[in-house]
Structure 1
């Protein structure tokens, strides 16, 4: 009976693996395509306090009822998943990726000039950044095979110039921040020609970099999109380990040591958490009221958006570094604060994924019918495109996604602490500062999710 049940689960996981490889590609976000959120009906202070208290309670529960044996059993659980025809599937994914890139360029330049009726715009924002990204952390990452730029780059010769080691992952940090800033301040979300131009420019830049330094170095170190999907894939239950596809419990890989190796990669994790917050914040009435006096005083809106993006990233990064220093002091460890930041940064990816799901799940479901309809006749301007109306209770799923992401981050940090420190009390005390940081992140994310949305002002 037990072996039959195990075989059933393994068969189900195999079908999930086959299903995820059928998902299609492309490149960025589009707040202007979506609808608006309504404010929550309960008092804001009670709503935020409840969310913060839930995270604090989850820390107490994890600390009081778990031990090393339970953590090891949960994080060590793995099952191999047979995936027949893997080489053929990889080839099909590569073909789909390249065709998808060509589709975006052709339809972006030649298709309808209205974003909500252009299949390229919908494919990029709805199909790729909303839908495909969610499958990466909910199911498993296939971006290495699907990535059209990597597929093309591997067919080209390489100059194999030595990559400057001092740069590390910092170019990918700058690239991620730059892409999000461009997405917010430019009309890439609703102007097909602008989107196609940006994608074409990104294609030229990426292929030039891969030509100079080799595709392996470029896509593993420099390319921000590849790093986003690699990091998000660490949360997923399906992953390749030791040459095999295995199923594991979601988020358990975040406590392992091989994901983040230096402050540059810590900075990328922090940037990924921050840009999801920034992306939502600049689409709220609160941001408009804060920006009004600066714009009235003559500050260029593009510069203001960039300044807030960089200042917020610096604040998030500084708070995390400060938390590491307090953690080292409370734990009484010989490990450096830098070493602690490397180990405790990966759990933050669960926060980024939870907020991404909260921000984009409703957006994806609402506009998925539009994508399907326009994709049938991509060069034809349709008078109307269908959208899905979501019930009012759906906002609760967004709030639950934020909370679940933070709870998973608390658990992953808890498991990391028990792996790092020999003493139980030492491991628990090391988590005090990080729990405070996560409570602050939770309350700020919940506040943004609960606000109504508007188009970012002045851009």
Structure 2
């Protein structure tokens, strides 16, 4: 364990960021892409539908002692945690790295809790403090404009990521308090207008993030009991995505994790500096890249879907295939989130524990855990693991969607190409040294 001054933002770890890989970058990236291609070839050898169904249908009941008591305790803990964050952000130390509220939000919640959601299981429906408060307030139950669908949650997710990147919300406790207060106000007003079920089921981006990530986890509530299943196997089910608006959210989640990592690399600094020097405001540039990158990801996905339909020779529409093949992308998002935040969480967990013990005390230094150099390889491995899991989930979706074996295999060609390209770009970002988002 070491002691030092650290940033609460994921882009600035206490060890100064990642080091570039020792092997040639092109060889490293090509090897990663080839690993994904090889995973597709191996998955293609599994053509027994009964075996695929058995793998994805495997379940075991897992009795949880004290579960009826756990839900009200989680609700109480969630509301108390929200109030605690707001109070400590306002009245605790003004330096973000010494403020327990800042560390709890970014290290404990967005890093640690999010990882537990896709690695273990989601308890957010019970823990969600805004849902607990909304359930106890009156509601107008106004009719929600169906034409909007889940698109407000897409805009909300991208807006939250933009605010996290360009504002000092991860470094200044008072700014964090303002954002938490603003988000609380908007959320409770929306739940009051349209009802908690509609708001948290359709509009709220945070609830949707944890609901989707929970589909990756080995533990889940199904038919009134806790079930143990193989990780990621629920991604092949049809009930997760109902429309293209929800496809848009999945793609936004994949792009958001990529964007958050990309803007904290020297490559982004080199590309953005001449644009800003030419007169483009930095905030506008960050917003433009966020929106443009999202539209690019959507376009690439739709292009791959159209080619998938053409190669499969199916009567299924492009929209249907887009819905069916979107859930496997969640494995990619989770793999990149794990790569981006695992080291960050482990490094700053001692800081969180120390500051939380005395949250109103200003500490000159806080303890951090110094990770060994080989730990960088763990992040690279999680990116590949996420893509491999996505390949397998897409394989299961294909064999569930098409009657012919050759149809099912051919339909995956475009998606595999897209995943290889995305793997290469993800590995490039993860292998870069980490810096603070520049020019802000």
TM-score normalised to structure 1 length: 0.93
Q: Paired residue for 1:104? A: 85
TM-score, with length taken from structure 2: 0.97
CA distance in 2: counterparts of 1:116 and 1:273, whole angstroms: 28
Match of residue 278 from structure 1: 259
Are the counterparts in 1 of residues 10 and 340 from structure 2 also a CA contact under 8 Å? Answer: no
| CA shift for structure 1 position 401 | 0.2
**SS of equivalent to 1:42:** coil
Q: 1:86 offset after TM fit, Å? A: 1.7
Q: Counterpart in 2 of 1:268? A: 249
Q: Which residue does 1:7 correspond to in 2?
A: none
User: Counterpart in 1 of 2:100?
Assistant: 119
Q: Are residue 366 (structure 1) and residue 347 (structure 2) matched?
A: yes
Report the alpha carbon displacement of residue 85 of structure 1 after superposing the two structures with TM: 2.1
Match of 2:51 in 1: 70
> Aligned pair 1:31/2:11, yes or no?
yes
The gaps in structure 1 that reach 5 residues or longer are 1-27
Matches within 5 A, 1:45-444: 45-444=26-425
Please give the alpha-carbon distance, in whole angstroms, between the structure 1 residues aligned to 2:209 and 2:57. 25
Query: Take 2:273 and 2:117, find their aligned partners in 1: how far apart are those partners?
Result: 38
SS in 2 for 1:386: strand
Deviation at residue 65 of structure 1 after TM alignment: 3.5
Q: CA deviation at 1:29?
A: 5.9
Any unmatched runs of 5+ in structure 2?
A: 1-7
Counterpart contact for 1:354–1:401, Cα < 8 Å: yes
Q: Is the 8 A contact 2:273 2:439 kept in 1?
A: no
Distance in 1 (CA, whole Å) between partners of 2:55 and 2:396 is 10
Cross-structure match for 1:8:
none
Deviation per CA, 1:340-377: give whole Å up to 9, x if none: 00000000000000000000000000000000000010
From the superposition, tell whether residues 33 and 151 of structure 1 become closer, same or farther in structure 2 (CA, over 3 Å): farther
RCO comparison, higher one (Cα < 8 Å, 6+): 2
1:164: Cα distance to partner? 0.4
Counterpart residue number, 2:3: none
- 2:303 is paired with a residue of what secondary structure? helix
Q: Give per-residue Cα distances to partners, 1:61-109, cap 9 Å, x unaligned.
A: 0001442121011001000111232221001100110011011100001
SS at match of 1:338: helix
The count of aligned residue pairs is: 432
Is 329-338 or 86-95 further displaced after alignment? Answer: 86-95
- Misfit runs of 4+, over 2 Å: 28-35
Any conservation in 1 of the 2:308–2:410 contact (CA below 8 Å)? Answer: yes
Counterpart Cα distance in 2 of 1:268 and 1:203: 21
Q: Is the 8 A contact 1:29 1:129 kept in 2?
A: no
- Equivalents in 2 of 1:162, 1:115: separation in Å? 41
Query: C-alpha deviations, 1:169-204, integer Å up to 9, x for none?
Result: 000000000000010000011101001110011001
Residues 9, 171 of structure 2: 8 Å contact kept: no
